[in-house]
Amino acid sequence: MSTDDKAAKPISAETSGGEDRKAASAYSWVSTLLTRLGLQNAPTLRDTLEDALKSGGDEQNFSAEEREMLIRLLRFGASRVDDIMVPRADIIAIDESEPIGEVVRLFEEAGISRIPVYHETLDDPRGMVHIKDLFRWISAEAAGRPLIEPRLKGEERAKAVRKAADEDVAENGERIHDLTKIDLKRPISSTKIRRPVLYVPPSMPAMSLLIRMQTSRVHMALVVDEYGGTDGLVTIEDLVEQIVGDIEDEHDEAEAEHIIEDAKLGTIASGRTPVSELEALVGTKLLTEDEEEDIDTLGGLVFQIVGRVPTRGEIIRHSSGLEFEILEADPRRVKRLKILRPKMGTPVPSASGATGAT
């Protein structure tokens, strides 16, 4: 099997954007400073700095936006990859046997710029396809010339680009591009548009991954467990957003609210809704300190209560008095649920705990 058929250790990828480099450099500078001061591993330093920033003080020192970003930076330094990754169930990926036309459709539908490629299952990844490489392949096919492979870099790549530009021009000076030459039925595996990805463990510090992406210029990482199974996915945008907040471009659609009030159905929530959002809404603590370490979403909460993925129509009772009616679920996860609040006069304990299902 060639290195193109089986993704090896990544050697190069698309150059990082200026903002990404600045974010990584900023955190690297802070980390180096703390190390030189002997404070890198101080158990309370991070909390002390965060408390100081939250307390306000002289507004002339930091604006509200600066305080928020500094707090995010401190929290980012304490985060692990599995705190940030897109879970396996939400990864958009494609089998290498699929035709190029399916990749085009997926890019249009998902509105993303990188798609992981696998062989048969996501546990056997083969790299990724970048939308820029896809368009380069389309251009090369239309011009009837070989693709400039993503692995080329430096002067070697510059020469290939100049040669391609010369070949694309006819004697009359017009560009030669015949779109009828493009065969969108060709499988991905028959092209050379795949790039390598990083493979990282869930426990890897998020800051370490950001620096690794910056130095390797590979901006997508698959999170793999000790058995080689794929747990999740992280891009450099996911990491940078932890520091600067959500980054949305002109192609990003407004994210739907996690919890909505429906005139007919009542309070409806996605299974991906953070438990903290519902706690803020109802004013009740739903998780113990120990549970907060393992449970992030409402889907995870109802799974913890009944010990399995509940089915549609089940009503899950929480010890706080809240009930969750499962509106939509598949064998792997809860997708949508209805939140039933205790009736007036019903005591609502603040402690968390499982009750059961009906």
Domain boundaries, the chain: 1-255, 259-357
Tokens of 1: 């099997």
Q: Is the pLDDT of residue 5 over 50?
A: no
- Taking only the tens place, the pLDDT of each residue in 58-93 is 555 777 778 888 888 888 988 999 989 988 988 999
Which class in CATH covers the domain with range 1-255? alpha beta
Question: How confident is residue 351, by pLDDT bands cut at 50, 70 and 90?
Answer: very low
Rounded Cα distance, 210 and 216, in Å = 10
Cβ atoms of residues 336 and 327 within 8 Å: yes
- Taking only the tens place, the pLDDT of each residue in 9-57 is 333 333 344 545 555 565 566 566 555 545 555 556 777 777 777 776 6
Mean pLDDT calculated for residue range 205-215: 96
Question: What pLDDT score was predicted for residue 58?
Answer: 58
- Taking only the tens place, the pLDDT of each residue in 108-127 is 888 889 999 999 999 999 99
Question: What pLDDT score was predicted for residue 3?
Answer: 42
CB neighbour class for 194 (10 Å; exposed up to 12, middle 13-18, buried from 19)? buried
Question: How confident is residue 251, by pLDDT bands cut at 50, 70 and 90?
Answer: low
- Taking only the tens place, the pLDDT of each residue in 169-200 is 555 456 667 778 888 999 999 998 999 999 99
User: 205 φ, ψ to 5°?
Assistant: -60, 140
Q: Is the pLDDT of residue 331 over 80?
A: no
Alpha-carbon torsion (227, 229, 235, 241), positive or negative: negative
Q: What is the pTM of this model?
A: 0.63
Q: How far are the Cα atoms of 15, 55, 226 from residue 9, in angstroms, in the given order?
A: 17, 46, 17
For residue 212, which amino acid is it? R
Q: Please give the mean pLDDT across all residues of the chain.
A: 79
Tell me what percent of the residues of the chain surpass a pLDDT of 90: 36
Question: What pLDDT score was predicted for residue 266?
Answer: 86
**90-104, 165-179, 344-358: which has the minimum mean pLDDT?**
344-358
CATH for the 259-357 domain, from 3.30.465.10, 3.10.20.600, 3.30.420.10, 3.40.50.12780? 3.30.465.10
Rounded to 5°, angle at Cα 87 from 81 and 94: 115
- Taking only the tens place, the pLDDT of each residue in 271-312 is 989 998 999 888 889 998 888 878 888 999 999 999 998 999
CA 24 vs. chain centroid, Å, equals 17
Three-state secondary structure string covering the chain = CCCCCCCCCCCCCCCCCHHHHHHHHHHHHHHHHHHHCCCCCCCCHHHHHHHHHHCCCCCCCCCHHHHHHHHHHHHHHCCEHHHHCEEHHHCCCEECCCEHHHHHHHHHHHCCCEEEEEECEEEEEEEEEEHHHHHHHHHHHHHCCCCCCCCCCHHHHHHHHHHHHHHCECCCCCECCCHHHCCCCCEHHHCCCEECCEEECCCCEHHHHHHHHHHHCCCEEEEECCCCCEEEEEEHHHHHHHHHCCCCCCCCCCCCCCEEEECCCEEEEECCCEHHHHHHHHCCCCCCHHHHCCCCEHHHHHHHHHCCCCCCCCEEEECCCCEEEEEEECCCCEEEEEEECCCCCCCCCCCCCEEEEC
Question: What pLDDT score was predicted for residue 28?
Answer: 63
Paired sense of beta strands 198-200 and 220-224, if any: parallel
Question: What pLDDT score was predicted for residue 13?
Answer: 34
Cβ atoms of residues 207 and 102 within 8 Å: no
